[in-house]
C-alpha cells in the first residue's frame, strides 16, 4: 500500500510577507475587494512505500523540522492520504 | 593565517574572496569543496556568496545540509572564526549557527547597490573590534533575500548581547531588514554573517577600498 503525505508550508502570520501583499494588492486592483486574508503556501507531496501511517507521519515531521521548513518564519501542516 | 573558502555548487563569489584574501594576507587561501568531511584546522573559514543549489527550497537550506557542514560546526565549537557573506550568511542562519533568517527583499527586487554600513558597538569580536562604533564602511550589496528577520524576543537578546555587527544607514535600508540590520554575530563573537560583499571593495578598480580595511582589520585581530 502506498501512503501519500501532503505538507503545506506557509509563512508565519507575524512575518510580513511582501509577496503576499503584492498579490493581494493586485487582486484588489482587479476589483476583488472582499479578500480579508491571502496565504501563499508551498505544498510538498511525498509518496511512501512499505511504511505504516504512524511512521509516515513521524518521518514527515522529522523532515520538516530538519530541512523542509524554517520554523523561524514558516509553519506547516501535515495531512495523510491513503491509496490502495 | 590559514584561510579556507568553502565552495558549494552555485557559489559564485569564491574566486573574488580568494583574490581579496590573497592580496591582503599574501598567502593563498584554500578552497574546500562542500563534500569534504575531514578538513584541517584553519584560522578562518569563509562561506562566500552565490546561489548554492540554485536557492532551491529556501536560500541556503540545501547547502546547510552538505557534508562539509559537520566540519564547520566542529570548527565553530572550537571557537574558530567563520565569515558568511551574503548567501554564506543565509547558510549560517539555516544551520542555526547564527540566529534569524534572511527573507525576500521588501521591495521584491534583486538589489545591487553601493552603500554604507555602520559598525555597531558589539561584544568582543575579531570582526568588529578595531573599528570605532559608528564607523562607516562603504561596501556593496547584491541580493534578493537580504531582509533580516528575527522575532522580538530574539532581537532583544541580540541587542543585549551586542551581537548586531553592522546596520544600514537609517535613511537607506535597502531590503526592509529588522532594525536596519546588515550583519550579526554569534553569541561568542567568532561567527559573522553579513549581506554586504567586502570582497567587492578591495582593489583600486572597485568603488571603495573599505572591504580591504575590513579584511585587514580581521586578519590583525585574528593574529593578535
Q: What are all long-range contacts of A18-25, with beta carbons under 8 Å and residues at least 24 apart?
A: A18/B104, A18/B105, A18/B106, A18/B107, A18/B108, A18/B176, A19/B104, A19/B108, A22/B108
Q: How many domains does chain A have?
A: 1
Of the residues B86, B94, B145, B206, only one is catalytic, namely: B86
DSSP state, residue A66 = I
Domain range enclosing A57: 2-83
Task: Evaluate if residue B73 carries a pLDDT over 90.
Answer: yes
Which residues in A lie closer than 8 A to residue B58 (C-beta atoms)?
Answer: 70
Q: Are A67 and B107 within 8 A, CB to CB? A: no
At residue B165 the predicted structure's pLDDT band, cuts being 50, 70 and 90, is very high
pLDDT for A84 equals 62
A57: its cell numbers: 507521519
Look up B154 and say whether it is catalytic.
no
Is the pLDDT confidence value at B221 over 80? yes
> Which cell is B134 given?
559608528
Residue of B65, B108, B151 with shortest CB distance to A18: B108
- Over residues A27-54, the pLDDT tens digits come to 999 999 999 999 999 999 999 999 999 9
pLDDT of residue B42: 96
Q: Between chains, do A18 and B176 touch, taking CB under 8 Å as contact?
A: yes
Cβ contact A70–B94 (<8 Å): yes
Q: What does the domain layout of chain B look like in residue ranges? A: 3-223
* Percent of chain B with pLDDT strictly greater than 90: 97
Half-sphere exposure of A72 (CA within 13 A, CB side): 22
- The pTM assigned to this predicted structure is 0.94
Mean pLDDT computed over B13-23: 98
CB contact under 8 A, B61 and A70: yes
Which residues does A51 contact at the CB level (< 8 Å), separation at least 6? Answer: A3, A59
ipTM given for this complex:
0.86
The domain defined by B3-223 folds into: Rossmann fold (3.40.50)
- Residue in chain B nearest A23 by alpha carbon: B108
**pLDDT tier at B95, thresholds 50, 70, 90:** very high
Between CA B222 and CA B214 the distance in angstroms is 12
CATH number at residue A39: 3.30.1280.10
Amino acid at each position: 500500500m502506498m501512503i501519500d503525505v501532503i505538507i503545506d508550508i506557509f509563512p508565519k502570520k507575524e512575518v510580513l510577507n511582501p509577496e503576499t501583499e503584492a498579490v493581494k494588492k493586485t487582486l484588489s486592483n482587479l476589483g476583488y475587494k472582499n479578500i480579508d486574508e491571502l496565504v501563499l503556501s508551498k505544498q510538498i507531496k511525498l509518496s511512501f512505500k512499505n511504511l505504516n501511517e504512524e511512521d509516515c507521519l513521524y518521518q514527515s515531521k522529522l523532515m520538516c523540522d530538519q530541512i523542509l521548513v524554517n520554523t523561524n518564519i514558516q509553519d506547516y501542516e501535515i495531512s495523510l492520504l491513503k491509496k490502495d | 593565517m590559514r584561510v579556507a573558502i568553502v565552495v558549494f555548487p552555485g557559489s559564485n563569489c569564491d574566486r573574488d574572496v580568494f583574490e581579496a584574501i590573497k592580496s591582503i594576507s599574501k598567502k593563498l587561501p584554500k578552497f574546500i569543496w562542500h563534500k569534504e568531511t575531514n578538513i584541517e584546522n584553519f584560522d578562518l573559514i569563509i562561506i562566500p556568496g552565490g546561489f548554492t543549489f540554485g536557492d532551491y527550497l529556501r536560500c541556503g537550506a540545501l547547502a546547510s545540509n552538505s557534508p562539509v557542514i559537520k566540519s564547520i560546526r566542529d570548527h565553530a565549537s572550537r571557537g574558530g572564526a567563520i565569515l558568511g557573506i551574503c548567501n554564506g550568511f543565509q547558510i549560517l542562519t539555516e544551520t542555526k549557527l547564527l540566529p534569524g533568517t534572511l527573507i525576500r527583499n521588501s521591495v521584491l527586487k534583486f538589489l545591487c547597490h553601493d552603500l554604507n554600513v555602520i559598525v555597531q558597538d558589539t561584544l568582543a569580536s575579531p570582526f568588529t573590534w578595531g573599528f570605532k562604533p559608528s564607523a562607516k564602511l562603504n561596501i556593496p550589496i547584491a541580493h534578493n533575500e537580504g531582509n533580516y528577520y528575527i522575532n522580538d524576543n530574539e532581537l532583544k537578546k541580540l541587542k543585549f548581547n551586542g551581537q548586531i555587527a553592522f546596520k544600514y544607514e537609517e535613511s537607506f535600508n535597502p531590503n526592509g531588514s529588522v532594525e536596519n540590520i546588515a550583519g550579526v554575530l554569534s553569541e561568542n563573537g567568532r561567527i559573522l554573517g553579513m549581506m554586504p560583499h567586502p570582497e567587492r571593495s578591495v582593489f583600486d578598480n572597485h568603488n571603495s577600498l573599505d572591504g580591504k580595511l575590513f579584511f585587514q582589520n580581521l586578519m590583525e585581530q585574528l593574529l593578535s
